[in-house]
Structures are given as structure tokens and as C-alpha cells.
């Protein structure tokens, strides 16, 4: 073996994506591509109103349709004990309505037919009589006396309270606010938005009545957790359920929950004895699958006159819709909102969240963020910007004065999070350098003098990703560990099986790179198996940027176990003492003799070969083969961070915002694949521009969803985003075995406040202090007229 490995072939040097040719040529296999002999098609009848009792359902005409095989209502499911299912947030959700409709688009009945078109036609033959009830649409009125009760299915429930949660020290925070020279408060809304993945949700269920085996292809970000819940809900034996999550066209949190449609497909297959496919259309996805955010927030900040932040306080009203279908660790009903103290070293903090039910679609999921961190980061970064303006201190400078110092890590925040590592001033300095910040401010002054509205927005975020340590985190009672199984074959090729799976973020490349880096095997000689519960170890799945921090660490440790066994075999190949063997530059070598080298391939040949194997540490001959498995329970989350700068131009005549430049410096520790990380950052920045400027799921006063198509729910295209300018710093996580932190969601979290801060900076001449997202031309224009519209 040569002294230096080729970085394009080995380890973390590789920038290309092995799955790219498959996707670029349209050769992916998504759920809707699955075709099974005799397969039937399922369509769901959805409620046209937000709140109504069902007076009657008549399915006679639908049953009589010549191509219909089954029509199922809530009453039919109730007979089998399947009308309700648990959510991933300790609530229960109706699979099909039995008593009353609780949101527009809710599942009322389903039809299974010979083809998709007949199934849809038959839906129109089902006669439902609704007794319409007044809905609760605005979270702000949900707890008012006399508000209609959404969850009368829950015994003893007399109001629409979903949960209350708080964190931090209320008394200490009040004391800090009491003595502070400056205090500021601001109401703001992080509006209801939707992950809107390119592929909608769907499933193909194939139940074999003879073997009592269920195979379910589904758009799932968490196949193992889903399988366990199906076993519990449907009473099927877990070892006879196989969940396959094939290629998935984007998840972003939308595909973490279990949806009624998945269960309907399973029931449909059990009833008919044939495979059944259910695939949402775009409207169904937008109006009925889980939304994100919907936080009405009040932020308060206390500081000294010279810009030292002393305290932060927040009060949140969270709209969870009709069912609490958020997927969040049990101890954290408001997700990780507790990180709202951001990247700053402050004296005291307190936050309180009151969550309510309304007659709107259930949720809310962490859309490309680790459990409510997007809301937390938005709150603190808006408050810091408001403070900068109040004190007349440059927003970059104010942040610098308050950053947690690099030598203060590990740093315990006032709400109890232990940030593992960071050098925030360095990341900020890099963003400022790339942007040419001082020149931009000079240009802004010149343009302002000419009446032009140029804005420069700053944000700095810290994320908490990689949920999570067993001692703190579980989801639906399942610990949040993840696994890896690694097998090296006799010829030195390897297969790594992981419990997380990709929705397009490149795991087939990056997990191979991890093994390659650890074992010196060329990347192309490592295959990655994922997304199939029969073929992979148990784990909680891909969301909250947890793949690299959890399953990635499992892969490293599995490779190191293989390497440790390989050391004994290598010593036998070289006939050298085990104590003299070292691993260097992709091979085992005898210490002091770099010329000797035994590769993993040679060790594998020895492990499977005909010769007797050497003795292991216990004196007995080693077992043959070369494999290892690990279930990794992280000791802490990882804390990626970033410094973002956004430059916008606002048209004074129309209020239209153009994002001219966006500079993003991210630190996710060690990067496995620079190109993949850049791709993740680009995607999230695009999300951020959409969230800040155009995305919004609105409802009218009757609870009709106003975002039922992509003509109404606007998502950004290449036309709305600039060429991203990215940079990096590399502070390794001290507890992750290769120092990597997650990155998949950083930029979705960090970019909205940068865009909003930029727009409000541009609007300074108009004295606009705050306006809520989405900053559409209409809303910006109204703010300029002194009339900001609440969403
Ligand atoms: O859970 P998810 O895969 O969405 O998020 P992630 O762990 O942040 O990883 C997203 C993608 O970026 C994966 O393909 C990772 O392997 C890659 N990544 C990387 O190359 N280096 C890092 N430090 C973090 C992630």
C-alpha cells in the first residue's frame, strides 16, 4: 500500500455523490414506483369542513361501484379497535372520524378499488351528512371562556389546553429585568408553514394472510419506530412486519409521524387479502399532513446600556391543531425551544409555552430543524437585533460582545443545555470577511441617501442536534439510540447497515466514506444498506439532523471494533507482537517500520481463510469472519452553529424584497463530504428565504385551509434566491468519535432571522420596528405605511 491514500477514493476527501446518477437519470424507486401483482388502490374521503358532527354516512352506492373492493368508515375501524392511534407525542389521533370532524381534510372514510381512478370516483358516491359546529381557528381565542371544545374525546377535558411547559428560572430572570438599564419586548409570530416535500406521503401495504406477514413500503423517516408502533396499534407480531422506506423524495420532518393513510393501507390489505397502494396528492399533503411552527411569541430582553445582554424571557402560545401529532422527545413537549438563549452568555432566562388545540391540521413537526429550535433561534435573533437598534450598536458588534467565549465550552446555558464546543467569534469574523461587511455598510449609507432601501441582516445560531442521550430522550417510550452493523467480506469489500435512512441527503455516499476513512477501504468498495427493517439494525430514524451525530458515530465505532479485531489478525500475518502493531494511514504497520503494511483486505482474507486463527485476548482462537455491530447512545447532543449575513433590496414602490447576497459560514465540526454539506446548506438557505418571504399556511374564519396548492402555498425557486456564498470553520465535537456535528437543518434554522433582520434594516427609514413573516410585498408595503398586518 502506498504511504498516502488517494483522497478522491478514500475517506473524507471524496466530494462526489454515488446516488447522483440514479436520481439525475430518474432511476430512483419511490413508493409510487412499487407495483405488485394484484395491487389495489386506496383513496381517502376527507372532511370538507373544520368542525362537525357526523350525522350519517351512507356507503351503499360506493360499495356497489363495480371496481370497488372495500369501503371502510370510522365505525368499521372502531369495531376492530383501530379507529384511534397513538401519536409520537403521547396524544391519540383518529384514523377515521368516528364522532366528529376536527379539521378540514380529516380522514372520514376510505375506498379500495381496482385502480386509482375508480377509488377516487367512488369517494364521490359516499353520502355524508355533517352537522357543522363553530370552529376554533385562532390559537389566541382557543382558551377563551366558551370557546368550542375541540377534544371532547378526551375524558375530563373541559378546555382546549394541550400542554403547558416552562424552562429556566423565572425569579432570577425577573430580578435581572428589574435591575437592567434597558429592557425591550416584542410580539412576533412564527407562522404556520409546511415542509412540502417534493414527494407526498404514501404507502403500499402487502399483508400475507397465510404467513401473517406484513410488508409495508412507506414514505417514512423512521421505519423501525413505525414498525414497533404498527405492532402495538394493529396487534401484529413485530418480527413479522417489514417496513421498507425506499427512495424518499424529501422528508424535512413531514415523514416522521404515522399518518392515518398508512394504517388505512394496512387495513385495506388485511381486508382484501391483496396489496394496497395509497398515495396522497399535493392538496392532501398540504391540508392534512403535519405542519410546522405556528408559534405566537412574546420576547423580552434585558441589557446594560453599553450592550451587555443580561436576560431573556419568552412567552409562547403554540397551536398544535386538532391532535398533538408533533414528533418530539417525551420530556420535551415544546421540543428544544429551551435553547432560545442562543449563542450568548447571559445571566438569567426563562421561557413558558402554552400549547392549545384548534380545528386545524395536526402537528407541529420540526420542519428541517431539531424540535422547535427554528422558533427559538428566530426569537433570540430578532430580540438581539431590536436591542442593537435601540442601543445604536452595530448588530455584528453587539453579538460579538455577548458571545459565549471559546474557552467557556463546554458551556451550560441558563436553561440547562450543555453546548459542547465552538468558536463563535471566529465564525462571525469569517462571515464578515466574506461579506466585506464594512464596505456593505458604506454602500448602504450611500444608497439610503439616495432613497434606496438596502438592508443588511445578521443572524448567529446554535443548534442542538443528534437526539439523543437515553437518559434524557425517548420517543413514544423508545430510547433514541441508533445502530450500525458492519461486515467485511473475504475479498475486503464491506457492507454497512445503518438504522437511519436517506431522504436524498447522501447517506449512501457519506456512510461509505466513514467506513473508508476508518478502515482504509476504497469508498467504492463499501455498500450502504438502509431503509429496510429486515436488513438493518434498530434505530429511531432520520430527522433533527441526527444521522451523523448518532448513526454516524455508530458506524465509526463499528469500524473501530473491526479494526481492533483486525489488529490481532494483522499481527499474525506479519508474525509480529500484537503490542507492536499500530494503525497508520489506512493499514496496520509494525511500529518503527512504516514499510510494513497489512490492509483490511489482507486481514479479511486471513479472517475467513483456511489457516487456524490466532488466539484472542481470552486465549481462545478468534472467531472467523470480520464484522461488528454497535448501538450508539450519544452522551450529549452536538451543537453546530453558524454566522449568516443577508443583503436585500426592497422596492419602495411595491414592497417587493430581492435577496441580493447571502453569506453563510457554518461550523459542523469535521465534514465527511464537503459537497454534501454545501448541498445541505444551500437547500436550507433556500428554505429560509421561502419561510421569511412567502410560505404561509393560512385559514379563513370557518377553518378552511387557504394553502391547498402550490399556487397558494408559495415555495421558493431559483428565481428568488441568490448565488449562495458559503464558508466554514471546523471546531470538532469533543464527544463524537470523529468530531462531526449534524448539519442537515442548520441553514433552515439560521437563515429566516437573517432575511427578516435584513428587511427590517432596509425599512429603518420608515421607522418600522417589526413585521411578521412571511414578508410578502403586501405585508412589507403595509408595514411601510405604518400598518403591519397580523398573520
Ligand atoms: O439526519 P440527516 O442526515 O438529515 O442530517 P445530518 O446528519 O446533518 O447529515 C446530512 C448529510 O450531511 C449526511 O449525508 C451527512 O453524512 C452529511 N454530513 C457531513 O458530510 N458532515 C457533517 N459534519 C455532517 C453531515
For 12-33, what is each residue's pLDDT tens digit? 988 888 999 999 999 999 999 9
Residue 731 lies in a domain: yes
ipTM: 0.98
Which DSSP symbol is given to 382?
A: H
Q: How far apart are CA 18 and CA 27, in angstroms?
A: 13
- Final residue belonging to a domain, choices 261, 288, 315: 288
Q: Whose CA is nearest to atom 19 of ligand 1?
A: 672
Residue 334 lies in a domain: no
Q: Is 719 exposed, middle or buried (0-12, 13-18, 19+ CB in 10 A)?
A: exposed
Q: Is 347 exposed, middle or buried (0-12, 13-18, 19+ CB in 10 A)?
A: middle
Return the closest-CA partner of residue 174 out of 441, 38, 352, 364. 352
782: which 3 cell numbers?
403595509
Cα 657 to averaged position of ligand 1 atoms, centre (Å) = 31
Q: How far apart are CA 492 and CA 513, in angstroms?
A: 15
Residue 755 lies in a domain: yes
83: which 3 cell numbers?
379507529
- What ligand 1 atom has the least distance to the C-alpha of 466? 7
C-alpha 543: how far from chain center: 4
Total of domains in the chain: 3
Cα 435 to averaged position of ligand 1 atoms, centre (Å) = 26
Cα 118 to averaged position of ligand 1 atoms, centre (Å) = 42
- Final residue belonging to a domain, choices 581, 608, 632: 632
Tell me the C-alpha to C-alpha distance, in Å, between residue 199 and each of 7, 249, 256, 283.
35, 5, 14, 12
Residue 303 lies in a domain: no
**Angle ∠(84,281,199) on CA atoms, nearest 5:** 95
Domain with 123 in it: 34-133+196-288
Cα 239 to averaged position of ligand 1 atoms, centre (Å) = 30
Query: Do 429 and 560 have their domain in common?
Result: no
- What ligand 1 atom has the least distance to the C-alpha of 548? 7
- Final residue belonging to a domain, choices 257, 288, 319: 288
Half-sphere CA count of 137, side-chain side, radius 13 A:
17
Tell me the C-alpha to C-alpha distance, in Å, between residue 83 and each of 42, 217, 364, 418, 432.
17, 22, 22, 42, 56
Residue 595 lies in a domain: yes
214: which 3 cell numbers?
406484513
pLDDT of residue 781: 96
pLDDT of residue 4: 58
> Which residues, 6 or more positions from 651, have their beta carbon under 8 angstroms from its beta carbon?
453, 657, 658, 777
> Which residues, 6 or more positions from 442, have their beta carbon under 8 angstroms from its beta carbon?
none
Q: Please list the ranges in the chain whose pLDDT falls under 50.
A: 1-3, 791
Query: Do 768 and 694 have their domain in common?
Result: yes
Cα 183 to averaged position of ligand 1 atoms, centre (Å) = 39
- What ligand 1 atom has the least distance to the C-alpha of 549? 7
- What ligand 1 atom has the least distance to the C-alpha of 542? 1
pLDDT of residue 2: 40
Residue 573 sits in a domain whose CATH number is 3.30.365.10
pLDDT of residue 3: 46
Query: Do 591 and 708 have their domain in common?
Result: no
Cα 494 to averaged position of ligand 1 atoms, centre (Å) = 21
Tell me the C-alpha to C-alpha distance, in Å, between residue 301 and each of 380, 390, 428, 497.
9, 11, 22, 47
Cα 640 to averaged position of ligand 1 atoms, centre (Å) = 11
Residue 308 lies in a domain: no
365: which 3 cell numbers?
413537526
Q: How far apart are CA 125 and CA 123, in angstroms?
A: 5
Query: Do 700 and 603 have their domain in common?
Result: no
CB environment 395-418: b (16+ within 10 A), e (fewer)? bbebbbbbbbeeeebebebbbebe
Q: Whose CA is nearest to atom 3 of ligand 1?
A: 547
Q: How far apart are CA 402 and CA 312, in angstroms?
A: 13
Return the closest-CA partner of residue 690 out of 768, 770, 782, 756. 756
Pocket, ligand 1, Cβ cutoff 6 A: 505-507, 510, 542, 545-548, 668-673, 676-677, 680, 740-744
- What ligand 1 atom has the least distance to the C-alpha of 511? 16
**Angle ∠(70,72,75) on CA atoms, nearest 5:** 150
What is the best residue among 484, 505, 528, 747 to mutate for testing ligand 1's pocket, by most ligand atoms within 8 Å of CB?
A: 505
Q: How far apart are CA 209 and CA 200, in angstroms?
A: 29
Query: Do 213 and 87 have their domain in common?
Result: yes
Query: Do 704 and 618 have their domain in common?
Result: no
292: which 3 cell numbers?
410546522
228: which 3 cell numbers?
414497533
> Which residues, 6 or more positions from 285, have their beta carbon under 8 angstroms from its beta carbon?
194, 196, 197, 200, 201, 254
What is the best residue among 420, 508, 677 to mutate for testing ligand 1's pocket, by most ligand atoms within 8 Å of CB?
A: 677
Query: Do 695 and 736 have their domain in common?
Result: yes
Residue 371 lies in a domain: no
Query: Do 503 and 594 have their domain in common?
Result: yes
Query: Do 119 and 244 have their domain in common?
Result: yes
Cα 668 to averaged position of ligand 1 atoms, centre (Å) = 9
Q: How far apart are CA 238 and CA 209, in angstroms?
A: 15
Cα 744 to averaged position of ligand 1 atoms, centre (Å) = 6
Q: Cα(first)–Cα(last) distance of the chain, in Å?
A: 64
3-state secondary structure of 591: coil
Which DSSP symbol is given to 532?
A: B
Residue 360 lies in a domain: no
Neighbour order of strands in the sheet with 725-728 = 453-462, 641-650, 657-667, 725-728
- What ligand 1 atom has the least distance to the C-alpha of 510? 16
Query: Do 575 and 507 have their domain in common?
Result: yes
Q: How far apart are CA 410 and CA 403, in angstroms?
A: 14
Helices assigned H by DSSP within 520-638: 553-574, 600-608
**241 phi/psi in degrees, rounded to 5:** -110, 130
Query: Do 607 and 719 have their domain in common?
Result: no
Query: Do 732 and 655 have their domain in common?
Result: yes
C-alpha 670: how far from chain center: 20
Annotate 645-685 with DSSP letters as a single string. EEEEEE-TTT--EEEEEEEEEEE-BS-S-HHHHHHHHHHHH
Amino acid at each position: 500500500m502506498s504511504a498516502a491514500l488517494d483522497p478522491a477514493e478514500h475517506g473524507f476527501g471524496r466530494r462526489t455523490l454515488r446516488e447522483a446518477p440514479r436520481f439525475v437519470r430518474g432511476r430512483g424507486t419511490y413508493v409510487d414506483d412499487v407495483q405488485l401483482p394484484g395491487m389495489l388502490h386506496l383513496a381517502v374521503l376527507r372532511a370538507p369542513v373544520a368542525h362537525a358532527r357526523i350525522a350519517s354516512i351512507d356507503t351503499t352506492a360506493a360499495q356497489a361501484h363495480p371496481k370497488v373492493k372495500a369501503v371502510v368508515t370510522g365505525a368499521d375501524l372502531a369495531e376492530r379497535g383501530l379507529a384511534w392511534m397513538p401519536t409520537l407525542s403521547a396524544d391519540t389521533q383518529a384514523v377515521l372520524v368516528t364522532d366528529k370532524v376536527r379539521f378540514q381534510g380529516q380522514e372520514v372514510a376510505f375506498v379500495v378499488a381496482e385502480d386509482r381512478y375508480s377509488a377516487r370516483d367512488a369517494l364521490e358516491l359516499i353520502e355524508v351528512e355533517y352537522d357543522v359546529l363553530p370552529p376554533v381557528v385562532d390559537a389566541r381565542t382557543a382558551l377563551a371562556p366558551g370557546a368550542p371544545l375541540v377534544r371532547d374525546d378526551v375524558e375530563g377535558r373541559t378546555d382546549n389546553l394541550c400542554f403547558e411547559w416552562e424552562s429556566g428560572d423565572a425569579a432570577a430572570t425577573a430580578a435581572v429585568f428589574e435591575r437592567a438599564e434597558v429592557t425591550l419586548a416584542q410580539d412576533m409570530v412564527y407562522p404556520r408553514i409546511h415542509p412540502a416535500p417534493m414527494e407526498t406521503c404514501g404507502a403500499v401495504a402487502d399483508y400475507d394472510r397465510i404467513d401473517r406477514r406484513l410488508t409495508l413500503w412507506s414514505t417514512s423517516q423512521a421505519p423501525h419506530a413505525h414498525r414497533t408502533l404498527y405492532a402495538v396499534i394493529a396487534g401484529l407480531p413485530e418480527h413479522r412486519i417489514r417496513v421498507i422506506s425506499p427512495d424518499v423524495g424529501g422528508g424535512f420532518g413531514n415523514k416522521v409521524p404515522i399518518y392515518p393513510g398508512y394504517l388505512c393501507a394496512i387495513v385495506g390489505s388485511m381486508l382484501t387479502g391483496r396489496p394496497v397502494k395509497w398515495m396522497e396528492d399535493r392538496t392532501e399533503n398540504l391540508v392534512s399532513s403535519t405542519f410546522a411552527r405556528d408559534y405566537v411569541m412574546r420576547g423580552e430582553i434585558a441589557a446594560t446600556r453599553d450592550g451587555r445582554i443580561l436576560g431573556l424571557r419568552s412567552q409562547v402560545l403554540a397551536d398544535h391543531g386538532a391532535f398533538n401529532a408533533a414528533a418530539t422527545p417525551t420530556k420535551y413537549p415544546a421540543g428544544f425551544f429551551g435553547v432560545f438563549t442562543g449563542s450568548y452568555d447571559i445571566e438569567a432566562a426563562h421561557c413558558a409555552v402554552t400549547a392549545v388545540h384548534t380545528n386545524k391540521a395536526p402537528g407541529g413537526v420540526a420542519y428541517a430543524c431539531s424540535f422547535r429550535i427554528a422558533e427559538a433561534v428566530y426569537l433570540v435573533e430578532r430580540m438581539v437585533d431590536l436591542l442593537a437598534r435601540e442601543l445604536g450598536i452595530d448588530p455584528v458588534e453587539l453579538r460579538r460582545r455577548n458571545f459565549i467565549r471559546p474557552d467557556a465550552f463546554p458551556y451550560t446555558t441558563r436553561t440547562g443545555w450543555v453546548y459542547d464546543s465552538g468558536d463563535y467569534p471566529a465564525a462571525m469574523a469569517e462571515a464578515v470577511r466574506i461579506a466585506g461587511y464594512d464596505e456593505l455598510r458604506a454602500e448602504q449609507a450611500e444608497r439610503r441617501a439616495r432613497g434606496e432601501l438596502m438592508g443588511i441582516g445578521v443572524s448567529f445560531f446554535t443548534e442542538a442536534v443528534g437526539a439523543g442521550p437515553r437518559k434524557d430522550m425517548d420517543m413514544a417510550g423508545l430510547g433514541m439510540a441508533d445502530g450500525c452493523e458492519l461486515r467485511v467480506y473475504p475479498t475486503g469489500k464491506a457492507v454497512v447497515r445503518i438504522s437511519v435512512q436517506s431522504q436524498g441527503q447522501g447517506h449512501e455516499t457519506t456512510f461509505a466514506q466513514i467506513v473508508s476513512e476508518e478502515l482504509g477501504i476504497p469508498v467504492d468498495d463499501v455498500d450502504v444498506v438502509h431503509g429496510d427493517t429486515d436488513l438493518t439494525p434498530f434505530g429511531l430514524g432520520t430527522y433533527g439532523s441526527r444521522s451523523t451525530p448518532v448513526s454516524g458515530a455508530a458506524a465509526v465505532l463499528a469500524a473501530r471494533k473491526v479494526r481492533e479485531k483486525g489488529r490481532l489478525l494483522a499481527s499474525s500475518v506479519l508474525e509480529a507482537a500484537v503490542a507492536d502493531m499500530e494503525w497508520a494511514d489506512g493499514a496496520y504497520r509494525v511500529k518503527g517500520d512504516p514499510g510494513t503494511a497489512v490492509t483490511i483486505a489482507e486481514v479479511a482474507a486471513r479472517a475467513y481463510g483456511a489457516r487456524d486463527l490466532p488466539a484472542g485476548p481470552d486465549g481462545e482462537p478468534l472467531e472467523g469472519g470480520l464484522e461488528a455491530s454497535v448501538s450508539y447512545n450519544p452522551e450529549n447532543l452536538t451543537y453546530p452553529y453558524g454566522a449568516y449575513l443577508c443583503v436585500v433590496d426592497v422596492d419602495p414602490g411595491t414592497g417587493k424584497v430581492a435577496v441580493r447576497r447571502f453569506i453563510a459560514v457554518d461550523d459542523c465540526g469535521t465534514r465527511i463530504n464537503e459537497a454534501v454539506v454545501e448541498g445541505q446548506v444551500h437547500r436550507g438557505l433556500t428554505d429560509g428565504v421561502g419561510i421569511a418571504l412567502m410560505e404561509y399556511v393560512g385559514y379563513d374564519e370557518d377553518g378552511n385551509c387557504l394553502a391547498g396548492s402550490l399556487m397558494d402555498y408559495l415555495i421558493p425557486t431559483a428565481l428568488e434566491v441568490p448565488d449562495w456564498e458559503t464558508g466554514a470553520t471546523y471546531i470538532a465535537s469533543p464527544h463524537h468519535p470523529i468530531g462531526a456535528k449534524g448539519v442537515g437543518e442548520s441553514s433552515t434554522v439560521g437563515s429566516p432571522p437573517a432575511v427578516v433582520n435584513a428587511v427590517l434594516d432596509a425599512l429603518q427609514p420608515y421607522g418600522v420596528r417589526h413585521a411578521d413573516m412571511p414578508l410578502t410585498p403586501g405585508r412589507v408595503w403595509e408595514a411601510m405605511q405604518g400598518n403591519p398586518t397580523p398573520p
